[in-house]
Amino acid sequence: MNVTVFGTGYVGLVQAAVLAEAGHKVICIDIDENKIASLNKGQVPIYEPGLAPLVERNLSSRTLQFTTDAKTGVDHGEIIFIAVGTPPDEDGSADLRHVLTVARTIAEHMGESKIVVNKSTVPVGTADKVREAIKSELDKRGAGDLAFDVVSNPEFLKEGSAVADCMRPDRIIIGTDSKEAEEALRELYAPFNRNHEKIMAMDIKSAELAKYAANCMLATKISFMNEMAEIADRVGADIEQVRQGIGSDPRIGYHFIYAGIGYGGSCFPKDVKALITTAGKLDVTPEILASVEQRNERQKRYLLEKICAHFGDDLSGKTFALWGLAFKPNTDDMREAPSRVLMEQLWQRGARVQAFDPQAMEECQRIYGVRDGLQLCGTKESALAGADALIIATEWQQFKAIDVEAVTSGLKNPVIFDGRNLYDPKQLARSGIDYYCVGRPR
């Protein structure tokens, strides 16, 4: 099928590449000329395992094309995806400016009937707004009788495994009131719907809410476990044992119950905020969501409390090795990353940071530039050199097996503050390392 995708961010780019790989002819549109120029050379602006070869291969077979020319895109696609960003605006609601601009652009160039699909995470009711925006633009140019459908088809991919998630989705939600649109999307997704039925057709509003409900449920599980971890810390219980004890109940499950230093990224923080705002506007008091958010804000400072309890509030003259900058492994994304809160708090208290991350060093440089108090180190070992303690903020695979010798000889005193519970506290105690983690006895 001929498909057009507006937006070459995480969701748009991965979706476009995966659809092209499945045999569809895809054109990707973005207003950012530099980005389109580099994509046309096969340069992928984000680190996402498996994405670059997919883009390269489909570029060369011309199943995937990139352009800034919206008209070419609108002419091409029988199905047109809107996959542009929805950053939070001042009151925390999702800012729909980009989504509605794309809707109007589609209407401006539409010459025949189209299926417009919302891929961006958008609040309930957005499909109606997209429909209105297209309709009024069509009316303006005297093309009001052109037929079109608006579909909500939320994306559930995870950064770091985006390509795999998109290739093998656990569900494909199609929110529409049009039988033809549903059929067209069923055909589009047929290559991903093998073995067992993954497509769920539903009304538009349920599809829109399902996306927020999924992310907010996962965020709730994490915040709940983080609260349990603080209780475990106080009573001397081990959150890892608690995790296994409760995860074995299939009604609870093992996923997303790892305590840590809070969730980050471009989705959970933004979506929890947006649903809180939506609820407020509907006169619903979002009691659970508000607590989830509060707990997460607090959790990002949890290690710092332990650091200050160990060294005192004034950290001037101290140097901290920091392993992990990305909000989670296998990505270079630092949006809302707990590492940022940690670094900024350490700087405020006069400390220096020697940081290492396998992928996010450039991103860190882009965010903070060259500044006093931050040294980006080429290896995890060089980050340790002469530091007063090691802080772990991201559970990258290469941090998981501890090299006791490297840590004890690199640091001034062997102290680790581990925000991801990577090591066995008993083993570290035996190695003479002062080990602080989240919700586990020392």
Active site residues: 267
Closest contact distance (angstroms) between CB of 308 and ligand UGA is 22
Supply 368's token pair: 């903070």
- Name the residue nearer to ligand UGA (CB basis): 121 or 126: 121
Residue 198 near residue 190 (C-beta atoms within 8 A): no
Of the two residues 166 and 384, which places its CB atom closer to ligand UGA in the complex? 166
**Alpha-carbon Rg for the chain in angstroms:** 24
For residue 5, CA distances in Å to 72, 221, 388 come to 12, 33, 49
Classified as helix, coil or strand, 98 is helix
Nearest to 114 by CA among 97, 98, 95, 134: 134
**Could you tell me which of 49, 150, 166 has the C-alpha nearest to residue 103?**
150
405 annotated to bind ligand: no
Q: Which residues bind ligand UGA (CB under 6 A)?
A: 121, 155-159, 215, 218, 222, 256-258, 260, 263-265, 267-268, 327-328
Task: Provide the minimum distance between the beta carbon of 236 and ligand UGA in the complex, in angstroms, as a whole number.
Answer: 22
CB of 240 to ligand UGA, least distance (A): 12
- Looking at this protein, which amino acid is placed at residue 153? N
Q: Is 356 annotated as a binding residue?
A: no
72 is in an annotated binding site: no
Exposed (0-12), middle (13-18) or buried (19+): which is 88, by Cβ within 10 Å? middle
CA distances (Å), origin 142, targets 91, 129, 132:
36, 20, 15
Closer to ligand UGA by Cβ: residue 156 or 189: 156
Instruction: Using the minimum distance from each CB to ligand UGA, give the nearer residue, 247 or 441.
Output: 247
Give the strand order in the sheet containing 199-202.
64-67, 25-29, 2-6, 79-82, 114-118, 148-152, 172-175, 199-202
Q: Is 258 assigned a ligand-binding role in the annotation?
A: yes
86 assigned to a ligand binding site: yes
Q: What span, in angstroms and rounded, lies between the C-alpha atoms of 251 and 206?
A: 23
Q: Annotated binding residue at 259? A: yes
* Residue with smaller CB distance to ligand UGA, 268 or 368: 268
Judged by beta carbon, residue 59 or residue 326, the one nearer ligand UGA is: 326
**Annotated binding-site residue? 328:** yes
Question: Strand ranges (DSSP E) for 316-378?
Answer: 319-323, 352-356, 374-376
Kindly state the smallest distance separating residue 165's Cβ from ligand UGA, in Å.
Answer: 7
| Buried residues in 206-235 as b, exposed as e (16+ CB within 10 A) | ebbbbbbebbbebbbbbbbbbbbbbebbee
Cα separation, 386 vs 354, whole angstroms:
10
Rounded to 5°, the CA angle 184-114-202 comes to: 45
* 96 annotated ligand-binding residue: no
Q: Which residues of 41-53 are buried (b: 16+ CB within 10 A; e: fewer)?
A: eeebebbbebbbe
User: 258 or 356: whose CB is closer to ligand UGA?
Assistant: 258
Instruction: Find the shortest distance in angstroms from Cβ 92 to ligand UGA.
Output: 16
CB of 327 to ligand UGA, least distance (A): 4
Least separation in angstroms between CB 271 and ligand UGA: 6
Binding residues for substrate: 156-159, 211, 256-260, 264, 328
Binding residues for NAD(+): 30, 35, 86, 121, 159, 270, 335
Binding residues: 30, 35, 86, 121, 156-159, 211, 256-260, 264, 270, 328, 335
